[in-house]
Amino acid sequence: MQKLMMFMKRKDDVSFEEFRTHYETVHIPTVAKWVGHLFTQSRRYYPQNHINFYVGRPDADQAPAHDGGVDYDAVSVYTIRDEAALAELMRIAADPEFTRWVTDDEANFVDRARSRQTLTEEITGIGMS
């Protein structure tokens, strides 16, 4: 099963709340009008940045100070319906109107240079289901 993962970083001059509000109320709903039908599931995660899993470990002094090592303000995971949906997603992603809107809107709240996206394949197995 293929998933699109997006690791979003907000612009330095945008507060986390401004970022999250814009992402949830403007960006996601508008993008969904273009490509929402191609996904069977979407999830967004907002790191809480306070868990330290290094406690009690010999390398505890190497733990990240505040952010748990996560340098993103949102992680979005979209499950792509099937191969035909992936092909349609790529077609839409190349559409100049779609690209222009996404680029213009992201300029309002996203640090594109520090954000990442990747296509992944989900694998489950023993102990991981």
Look at residue 49 in the predicted model and tell me its pLDDT.
61
Give the pLDDT band of residue 68 (cuts 50, 70, 90): low
The one-character DSSP state at 12 is T
Look at residue 125 in the predicted model and tell me its pLDDT.
80
Look at residue 119 in the predicted model and tell me its pLDDT.
95
112-118-120 Cα angle (round to 5): 165
* pLDDT score of 38 more than 70: yes
Name the least confident of 12-21, 53-62, 65-74.
Answer: 65-74
Mean pLDDT along residues 1-18: 95
Place of tokens 């330095």: 12
- The model's pTM is 0.81
Chain segment 55-65, per-residue pLDDT in tens:
778 877 776 66
Determine contact, residues 79/39, Cβ cutoff 8 Å: yes
Calculate the dihedral angle through the C-alpha atoms of 53, 54, 55, 59, rounding to the nearest 10 degrees.
170
In angstroms, the CA 28 to CA 89 distance is 15
Mean pLDDT along residues 7-17: 95
* pLDDT score of 1 more than 90: no
41-45-47 Cα angle (round to 5): 170
Look at residue 48 in the predicted model and tell me its pLDDT.
75
